[in-house]
Structure 1
Amino acid sequence: MKKLTLTVLAALGGAAFAQMSAGGPGVPAQEDAQAVAAPAGLTARTSVTRYTSSPVRLTMTVANQTGREQELSAPRDNRQDCAAGPLVRVLEVGTRNVVYPPAGNGNAMLCAQDLFVKTVAAGGSVRLERTLNLPAGDYMIESWFSGNAADGKVRLAAEPVRVTVW
């Protein structure tokens, strides 16, 4: 039954999949409630090597297709090992068990209070990178940028990507 559910979710398309899975572990409901839909002209795309060994290197490209430069900013997240972006949730294929971030109310560590800030030129893009240490297995990686852009709070979700770690 779980495999059928995952197959149906995958068939719905990445955007619907990401939207349906928002709010699970690692994606606080309060954060989503305050964030607005992605502003017109800002998009996020994630790339990762499909078959790889650990550590897994993930790259998110945020593209600005508007006619003016955009400033992206985000605080560091202690539930995400103090990363500012991209934020990720890793699910085990076939079970939807959350592998990352770990369950609980976040890591006890305090992150530096500096703010991640990048300016994206009109028609340009910026790359955000993460390295994830994952055990061998098949995973779906959901990723997003959550912070400020386009004069407000935003959540730019990318299509989920599948990776096999050996």
Structure 2
Amino acid sequence: MKNLLPLLLMAATLGGAAFAQSSVSAPLPTPQKTVAQVPAGLSAHASAPRYTSGPVRLTLSIANASDQSQTLSAPRDNRQECVAAPLVRVLEAGSRSVVYPPARSGNATMCAQDMLIKEVPAGGSLHLERSLDLPAGDYLIESWFSGNAADGNVKLPAEPVRVTVW
């Protein structure tokens, strides 16, 4: 018993020190948020047929009013069925409930890691198209380009378009 008491005291002391080291932690570093910006001279415009009976064909036109060509790149988005551009959000008109992208209860889709790389010529435009299968109804479609340019992260939003599918 005499030999056991010092051993127990030493174990209690070391255990307390180990507990103190593990319970006191340095604050975690906060991740740096990169704010997406709109590069000078670039603008986006969305268009789609107002009435349709089939898939909605959305076109996002990116215009470059500057005197230099701009290279844009975008990865595939796993929340958008692996599409790189244009990205969309479809809202039911009136209720503004989100129809697309669907709320996922499980894992997001795994996409290829390739990049969409397009150049917008100086004084010209670039057209990106996407087809959406929507059930019959009245919708607002928000669309944008989100990716990279020479200025870093960019987001080029377009005005929403209204579509009726019958």
TM-score by length of 1: 0.77
Aligned to 2:64: 64
- Structure 2: unaligned runs, 5 residues or longer: 1-32
**Partner SS for 1:72:** strand
Q: Identity rate of aligned residues, in percent?
A: 67
Q: Distance in 2 between matches of 1:146 and 1:102?
A: 19
Q: Distance in 1 between matches of 2:97 and 2:68?
A: 41
- Quote how far apart the aligned CAs of 1:38 are: 1.2
- Quote how far apart the aligned CAs of 1:39 are: 1.7
Aligned to 1:30: none
Alpha-carbon displacement from aligned partner over 1:113-138 (angstroms, at most 9, x marks no partner): 10000011111111101100000000
Whether 1:141 aligns to 2:141 is yes
Letter in 2 for 1:145: F
Instruction: Please list, as runs of the form range in 1=range in 2, the aligned pairs for 1:50-129 lying within 5 A after superposition.
Output: 50-104=50-104, 108-129=108-129
Q: Distance in 1 between matches of 2:117 and 2:162?
A: 29
Q: Distance in 1 between matches of 2:107 and 2:66?
A: 37
Letter in 1 for 2:40: A
Q: Distance in 1 between matches of 2:107 and 2:131?
A: 17
Root-mean-square deviation (CA), in Å?
1.5
* Greater fraction helix: 1
Q: Distance in 2 between matches of 1:74 and 1:148?
A: 6
- Quote how far apart the aligned CAs of 1:36 are: 2.6
Count of matched residue pairs:
134
Q: Is the 8 A contact 1:54 1:132 kept in 2?
A: no
Report runs of 4+ in structure 1 exceeding 6 Å deviation: none
CA distance 1:72–1:107, change in 2 (3 Å): farther
Letter in 2 for 1:153: N
Aligned to 1:40: 40
Q: Distance in 2 between matches of 1:149 and 1:79?
A: 22
Q: Is the 8 A contact 2:138 2:162 kept in 1?
A: yes
Q: Distance in 2 between matches of 1:91 and 1:36?
A: 23
Alpha-carbon displacement from aligned partner over 1:96-115 (angstroms, at most 9, x marks no partner): 11000001378632111100
- Structure 1: unaligned runs, 5 residues or longer: 1-32
Structure number, greater radius of gyration: 2
Q: Distance in 1 between matches of 2:76 and 2:134?
A: 21
